[in-house]
Structure 1
Amino acid sequence: MTASEADALRQAAREFFDAVSPSTRIRELMATDAGCDRAVWEQMANELGLHGIAVPEQYGGAGAGLPELAVVFEEMGAALVCAPFFSTVALAVPTLLASGDDTAMRRYLPALVDGSETATVVLNGTLDAWDPAAVSLTARRDGTDYRLTGRADRVLDGHTANVILAVANTENGTSLFAVRTPAEGLGRQPMATLDRTRKVAALSFDGVPATLIGADGGAAAGLEQAYRVAVIAIAAEQVGAAQRCLDMAVTYARERIQFGRSIGSFQAVKHRCADMLVLVEGARSAAEYAAGLPDGDEQAVAASVAKMVCSEAFLEVALDNMRIHGGIGFTWEHDAHLYMRRAKTTQLIFGTPDHHAQRLATLVTSSSP
């Protein structure tokens, strides 16, 4: 993707999200269980082609890659778009692509690309970092299919997804299964969370019928690959949201008058805004570098660096945005707290900065001669 193509994609996404995701609409949607405007969802899929941007053409997508997808996630993070886009496009789609199961990809991807269905992934049953040793579901064979048992306490958009891709242990090891909803034995309960713009549900599996994707016991490597894509996508989202917080703070600092002058003219505010800019640019560099790498060991290292750097930068910038706004920034009526909530939750999803620092040390040590 050339710089001009990236700019064009960014501009198109920004104009669209600014139009369909103003603050008033965000607050309306986050008060609902579904948390999504179906008409906007279909526009995103069919008019902008965002759902299939990183899906190969034979499955109905545009055939682009992770750099293009990262641009979209930056703009979605900036606008705090309420939709199951992350669970469908950053989780389910990469998981299907990494499975290597052409039959499953042809069965599920076209409907995800055209927006007629949504999907999510149950990894460890929580939103923690991917760990094959922490899989919470088990599967037993039932004729040609399987039955899933167990609980998943935190699943992104788990209560609304049409397809649930669930990781479960069989007697052969870590395996991937697909469940179409509603399904016999499947319980789904939406949960109240800190970030109300991103929906989470608790799922229970009581002998739920499921279809195996890929080889029985052979899913671990593909899941690790898909997990890296999700980590990079959330880092890109954090960059976009952090940039929006910086823009909000600078605009307010110019407009807010105290003692006959704008507060942005005070040295303390200038320095704080400058520090915010440094954090945002550092985070952007880390996320863009990770998104531009092919799958492999170097991408694994860059993904952890990006998640660590972007998580810390976004949270600090979101808090500074509130501080610069003063008392109004801490109120429910102001949007600053919405970004702070997103910053805190994305810091925890798929591994905290401390987790990725430890993961980075392990990856670097294992690759040293």
Structure 2
Amino acid sequence: MNEMNIAELLADQLEKLLSARVNAESLAILEAGGADLSLWQEIEEMGVADVMRTGDDDAGLGWQDCAELFRVLGRHAAPLPLAETLFARRLMSQANLGIPEGPLALIDPSANADIQLDGSGCLQGEAAMVSWASWATQLLGLARRGDEAFLFSVAASDVAARLEQCDSLGRAPTSAVDFSGITPLAVVAMSDASQIRSGLAVMRALMISGACDKVVELAVDYANTRKQFGKPIGKFQALQHQLAEASCRAAAAEMAGKYACRELDNNQFLAGAAVAKYTASVAAKEVSRIGHQVFGAIGITDEHELHYYTRRLWQWRAEAGNERYWSEQLGNKVLAAGSEQLWSSLTA
């Protein structure tokens, strides 16, 4: 069985599992502070969380192989940090760090995280918003000392008393974490720290594309069943135009995400991530808007499932750099290359 078959099989198994186990009720339980640890255990037993590890005895699947896994997680607004754990275990295996059991939390460098590594090897500073910190066995992040960047891991037990719960649009477990004076479990110098932010951006872009697909699916189904003036509202051309735009935005986010996966597999960290996260963030905004316009008032009620996806779209849009941040990165890259490189960069 080749790598693509393994990836497709795992994505299919994950799709079936989440379809059976995740619904509006389970998402409401998560947002109320509950945790379905049995779902995490099932996923661990499937081996999904380890497929991006790069050790000699590991599957070592790349970003292109695992793109659909991330999209499935977004499509179901998965109530567990599998996406973060997939990427964190990949980073740890690449750095030859010991990988613990259980879920991992990743500190988003763009989320007001200013963490320094002092001369005694202790961390100083805090991260304003860390998703799933209260679930994690370890937290993984980026610290700086002068011009140097370091990947570090911290035991969750060492910061448990310092977690301060935060409110977020997605309402998933989110905490502010003060790392001052904490000695990390491991510290590894990074030659290119941009791979963390770029990887997080592509991960979120793929999840956004999956959630966009779900919102479009819900909106199309509702438009075909909700009747007004004697016919389904989906028969009205104005609504058809809106749904067509939402479908195009979702498709663009998917293609941009998969393009970025190819770039990451080729160790090109900036351009692909910028294109993917910019495109996906714009799609998140527009697909959410159209979805709520189709549903009207019912779409914002707690009883309806739509808001579980649209709120996460807005949350993921802001994480790992929003569209403004990534458009600036692309613009700076073009300006630095000079006008004579503009056409070739657009058509490459």
TM-score with structure 1 setting the length: 0.83
Retained in 2: the 8 A contact 1:186–1:208? no
CA positional deviation for 1:73: 0.9
Question: Residue 230 and residue 27 in structure 1: after superposition, are their counterparts in 2 closer, same or farther (change >3 A)?
Answer: same
Give deviations 1:127-172, integer Å, cap 9, x for gaps. Answer: 26xxxxx73334332xxxx322322221122233211224333467
> Where does the alignment leave 5 or more consecutive residues of structure 2 unmatched?
342-348
**2-side partners of 1:118 and 1:139: how far apart?**
28
C-alpha distance in 2, partners of 1:137/1:314?
A: 33
More deviation in 293-302 or 225-234?
293-302
- Equivalent position amino acid for 2:252 in 1: G
Q: Which residue of 1 aligns with 2:111?
A: 127
Query: C-alpha distance in 1, partners of 2:179/2:206?
Result: 33
Matched, 1:200 2:174: yes
Aligned to 1:51: 49
The size of the alignment, in residue pairs, is: 338
Judged with a 3 Å threshold, the aligned counterparts in structure 2 of structure 1 residues 20 and 175 are, in CA distance, closer, same or farther, namely same
User: Partners in 1 of 2:321 and 2:67 — Cα distance?
Assistant: 19
2:158 to 179, 183, 187: 183
Shift in CA distance, 359/118, structure 1 to aligned 2, threshold 3 Å = same
User: For residue 111 of structure 2, what is the amino acid of its counterpart?
Assistant: L
Which residue does the alignment assign to 1:158?
A: 133
Give the counterpart letter for 2:178 in structure 1.
Answer: S
Structure 1 unaligned regions, length at least 5 = 129-133
Aligned partner letter, 1:13: L
1:212-248 deviation line (CA, Å, top 9, x unaligned): 422xxx3251x31232222111110000000000000
Instruction: Give the aligned partner of residue 292 of structure 2.
Output: 322
Letter in 1 for 2:128: D
After superposition, the Cα gap between the structure-2 partners of 1:3 and 1:95, relative to the gap in structure 1 and judged at 3 Å, is closer
Q: For 1:259 and 1:172, how far apart are their aligned partners in 2? A: 65
State which of 229, 239, 244 in structure 2 corresponds to 1:269.
239
1:86-125 paired onto structure 2 within 5 Å: 86-90=83-87, 92-98=88-94, 100=95, 102=96, 104=97, 107-108=98-99, 111=100, 116-122=101-107, 124=109
Equivalent of 1:75 in 63, 69, 72: 72
Q: CA deviation at 1:308?
A: 0.4
What's the RMSD between the two structures over aligned residues? 2.5
Q: 1:1-369 counterparts in 2 under 5 A? A: 8-32=9-33, 36-47=35-46, 49-58=47-56, 61-90=58-87, 92-98=88-94, 100=95, 102=96, 104=97, 107-108=98-99, 111=100, 116-122=101-107, 124=109, 127=111, 135-141=114-120, 146-170=121-145, 173-183=148-158, 187-196=162-171, 198-214=172-188, 218-219=189-190, 221=192, 223-295=193-265, 298-367=268-337
- Contact 2:170/2:311, CA 8 A, preserved across alignment: yes
Q: Secondary structure at the match of 1:51?
A: helix
